[in-house]
């Protein structure tokens, strides 16, 4: 189990940013057999943990799988209980994300936060299509409310551009973004995951702050892709990748709810 989860969590180090490719790789490797009968939640120093036949679950780095709330521990326990004859970590997205937070993000909080702010410097929401008009209007409908929120609630004003030519964003605005990035490893892991999945730090922070739910953020992140699909049809492989990424998005949003 430890080796399998380490392979999975290797995505946090850039081993693969394609969840479908990672799932296929895991499927080629033999999955461990389910070795436990009972899954429960127990109290631990600093919070709660998942118990398998009374024994605490450990992260790949051998730390305690510690949750600050019972609700989070129960949600992870449900993932373990749902495993059948084999244990497939790709069917435990919440547990995987918590593993990453505890083993990796906690040790590199500043670097992870910096990466979220760097994403904001080239955020997808700043780069608008020149046409067709339907796409221009759709981008504005889904993206402008987030920019308006940053301006009105956080005094952060950004420059917009048409096309893909890079536009440097004002340092004061990026500092406002930095102030919104959480320092707690679990919340930071969730925000970082949503940032990389959507291509937008602002969408991730909008979910974290309660402006958007996961559905609205996901739709906003795929305005361009959905427009192209309407014009040219769906690609089966792309649809599979998108579905796998949506599972990770939902896990990140759930993590934020469960630690609130």
Q: Which two tokens stand for residue 244?
A: 């796998």
Q: Give the per-residue pLDDT at 233.
A: 82
pLDDT at site 22: 54
pLDDT at 109: 98
Over residues 201-212, the pLDDT tens digits come to 999 999 999 999
With H, G, I as helix, E, B as strand and everything else as coil, classify residue 13: helix
Query: What pLDDT score was predicted for residue 118?
Result: 97
Domains of the chain: residue spans and CATH: 2-92 (3.30.2180.10), 107-259 (1.10.3580.10)
Strand 55-56 relative to strand 47-52: parallel, antiparallel, unpaired?
A: antiparallel
Per run of 10 residues, the mean pLDDT along the chain (length 260 residues) is: 35 43 58 95 97 96 97 98 94 97 97 98 97 97 98 98 92 98 98 97 98 98 94 86 96 97
DSSP 45: T
Euclidean distance between CA atoms 96 and 89, whole angstroms: 7
Structure token digits, residue 235: 């690609």
Q: Using alpha carbons, select from 73, 218, 35, 80 the residue that is nearest to residue 207.
A: 218
């Amino acid at each position: 189990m430890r080796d399998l989860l380490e392979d999975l969590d290797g995505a946090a180090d850039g081993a693969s940013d394609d969840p479908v490719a990672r799932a296929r790789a895991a499927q080629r490797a033999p999955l461990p057999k389910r070795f436990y009968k009972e899954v429960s939640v127990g109290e631990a120093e600093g919070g709660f943990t998942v118990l398998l036949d009374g024994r605490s679950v450990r992260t790949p780095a051998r730390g305690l799988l510690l949750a600050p709330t019972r609700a989070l521990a129960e949600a992870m326990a449900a993932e373990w209980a749902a495993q059948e004859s084999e244990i497939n970590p790709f069917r435990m997205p919440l547990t995987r994300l918590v593993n990453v937070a505890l083993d990796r993000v906690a040790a590199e909080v500043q670097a992870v936060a910096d990466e979220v702010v760097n994403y904001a410097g080239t955020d997808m929401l700043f780069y608008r299509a020149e046409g067709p008009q339907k796409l221009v209007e759709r981008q504005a409908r889904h993206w402008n409310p987030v920019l308006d929120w940053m301006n009105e609630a956080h005094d952060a004003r950004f420059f917009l551009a048409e096309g893909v030519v890079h536009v440097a964003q004002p340092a004061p605005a990026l500092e406002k973004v930095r102030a919104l990035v959480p320092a707690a490893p679990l919340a930071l892991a969730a925000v970082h995951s949503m940032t990389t999945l959507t291509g937008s730090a602002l969408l991730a922070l909008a979910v974290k702050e309660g402006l958007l739910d996961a559905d609205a953020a996901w739709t906003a992140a795929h305005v361009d892709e959905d427009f192209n699909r309407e014009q040219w049809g769906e690609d089966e492989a792309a649809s599979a990748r998108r579905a796998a990424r949506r599972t990770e998005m939902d896990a990140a949003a759930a993590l934020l709810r469960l630690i609130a």
